[in-house]
Amino acid sequence: LVSKVRNGLSIADAVSEIIHRGISEMRKNAFGDDLEDAKALPWTREQAWSVLRALASKDEIPYADVLLEFPFKGDELALRNMETAELISIGTVDGRPTTIKPGKPVYKHVYQRLVEDHIFQAVQTINFNEKLIATSVSIIKACEDELTMLKNIGLDLGSSVISGRGATGTRANYLLDKMMQATLKVEKLETENVKLKKVLAKGTFV
């Protein structure tokens, strides 16, 4: 920043130039130039987008929450690799990871600009949602398979499920509730994707 100002740029123009360059670098370094390039990254685009989107609106986010939820689901190596690439900074307490912050102060503004890019946001959110939909569909299929197994061992998947008779009935109720939650999530995400695809078609939010 100092060198740019010394070379004649105003502070505002110098900061704007740094942010603009950071946006281009972030697109390439965090998401790859294309799908093939993205495959070589030690994290997925969905993982990068989830962290970037969260940090665009918050100064820091809880490490444990990010680690345990989709799309990380315990993938600590991906977070460590993102830190090594200076996309994020991981704060610790007594050696235990506790918070995630932007890798550099300027990245806060870079994250915000990327999230405000309606086309980029739509593309990344659609991809994120599709992966989450696939996860939810897998949950639904697993529940269906287990319910079929319960039926095959003699459970009447009717009134006995509603009444929660015994351990088997309780398990069936749990599976049905889990299926319902996953189904509602799929419906919500698919509806969102329809709207986002309209954004891509028109080039702006509708």
> What would the pLDDT profile of 113-149 be if each residue is shown by its tens digit?
999 999 999 999 999 999 999 999 999 999 999 998 8
Residue 92's pLDDT band (cuts 50, 70, 90):
very high
Q: Is the dihedral of CA 183, 185, 187, 193 positive or negative?
A: negative
d(CA 23, CA 61): 21
Residue 67 neighbours by CB distance under 10 Å: 16
- pLDDT above 70 covers what percent of the chain? 85
In this structure, of 1-15, 86-100, 136-150, the range with the lowest mean pLDDT score is 1-15
pLDDT tens profile 144-201? 999 988 887 765 555 454 455 677 888 889 999 999 999 999 999 999 999 999 999 9
Per-residue pLDDT, 71? 97
**pLDDT, position 34:** 86
Q: What are the Cα distances from residue 113, in Å, to 52, 74, 108, 110? A: 11, 29, 9, 5
Secondary element (H or E) of residue 168: helix 166-202
CB 114 within 8 A of CB 45: no
Signed CA dihedral, 26, 117, 186, 57: sign only: positive
Q: Say what the pLDDT of residue 2 is.
A: 45
pLDDT for the residue 162: 46
Alpha carbon distance 180, 121 (integer Å): 28
Instruction: Please tell me what DSSP assigns to residue 41.
Output: S
In this prediction, residue 154 carries a pLDDT of 67
DSSP for residue 70: T
